[in-house]
């Protein structure tokens, strides 16, 4: 069973940004799918398991690329 998590993602201003965030997220083997909208400033990520460790790794990878992300509850 997969789990869905949503992130608020900062600094996205165009489709290129959305594509970059999508590529970053999909590099992780636990990520089954990622839908990213620069207009909404949001990433919806389907994970094998939404553990605190993988969420932190995703946030760190995005922050390293200048797209800081916070978990939406």
In the predicted structure, residue 1 carries a pLDDT above the cut 90: no
pLDDT per position as a tens digit, 13-66 = 999 999 999 999 999 999 999 999 999 999 999 999 999 999 999 999 999 999
Just give the CATH number of 3-72. Answer: 3.30.70.100
Do residues 11 and 66 touch, judged by C-beta distance below 8 A? Answer: yes
pLDDT at position 73 is 80
CA distance 30 to 6: 15
Domain ranges across the chain: 3-72
Global confidence as pTM: 0.95
CA distance 38 to 25: 14
């Amino acid at each position: 069973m997969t789990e869905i998590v949503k992130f608020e993602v900062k600094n996205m201003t165009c489709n290129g940004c959305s594509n970059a965030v999508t590529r970053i997220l999909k590099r992780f083997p636990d990520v089954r799918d990622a839908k990213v909208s620069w207009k909404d400033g949001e990433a919806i990520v389907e994970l094998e398991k939404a553990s605190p460790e993988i969420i932190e790794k995703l946030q760190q990878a995005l922050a390293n690329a200048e797209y800081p992300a916070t978990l939406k509850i």
